[in-house]
Chains A and B, each alone.
Chain A
């Protein structure tokens, strides 16, 4: 059974600081997604990482994928309050059903 673990589960950080969220998964996959969820809202797609070594950046967020280590990271640079949300990674195990297996999420709170 594919397991997807994120850490930390909760992250409180100050504005201007840098931090990294980690997403580990237990089986082979070369396709990983990052989503953002604001309180009471749906999930918004942030990044799709399609191969080993893939790196995507959007504003203060940068995501990377290491398929050999079964690890993806979401790096936050110079955090601002607007980045406060819950971040999920989701792994595509490569089945024809196109199912995604989600991590438990990281609740990010950026303090002024």
Chain B
């Protein structure tokens, strides 16, 4: 039972590059979320999805895009990376209430 799997665990990007953070869950949860955590701060919601084919913006969506073509997968796309996107990114899934978090992706943009 893998739960929520995030890849990669670490990544260094150059300014202007793009990348996709992968998130997969095997619990058949409808709800999925992407948060970012800046040093010494709480979690800010980037995007979320309430089911396959449905996504919506959270508090800090600028510079990111998502898709949800299947129940299992919820990738986060960074276009034209900027230093302000240096952060730790957490994916989470939920059946109805309560989250299961992935282990996180630590991203540095230089």
Contact = CB atoms under 8 A, between A and B. Distances in A.
Interface of A: 4, 31, 33, 41-43, 45, 48, 88, 90, 92, 96-105, 107
B58 interface: yes
B25 to A, nearest CB: 14
Contact of A100 (B99, B102, B103): B99
Contact of A99 (B33, B98, B104): B33
A42 B37 CA distance: 11
Contact of B41 (A41, A96, A105): A105
A97 B48 contact: yes
Contact of A88 (B40, B43, B45, B103): B43
Interface residues of B, number: 23
Contacts of B99: 33, 43, 45, 100
B95 to A, nearest CB: 9
A102 B60 CA distance: 14
A43 B94 contact: no
Overall SS of chain A's interface: loop
B101 A43 contact: yes
Interface string B9-45: 0000000000000000000000101010000111111
A105 B41 CA distance: 7
Contact of B48 (A43, A45, A99): A99
B74 interface: no
26 contacts: A4-B42, A31-B97, A33-B98, A33-B99, A42-B90, A42-B101, A42-B103, A42-B104, A45-B98, A96-B50, A97-B48, A97-B50, A97-B56, A98-B50, A98-B94, A98-B96, A99-B45, A99-B48, A99-B58, A100-B33, A100-B45, A102-B35, A102-B43, A102-B44, A104-B42, A105-B40
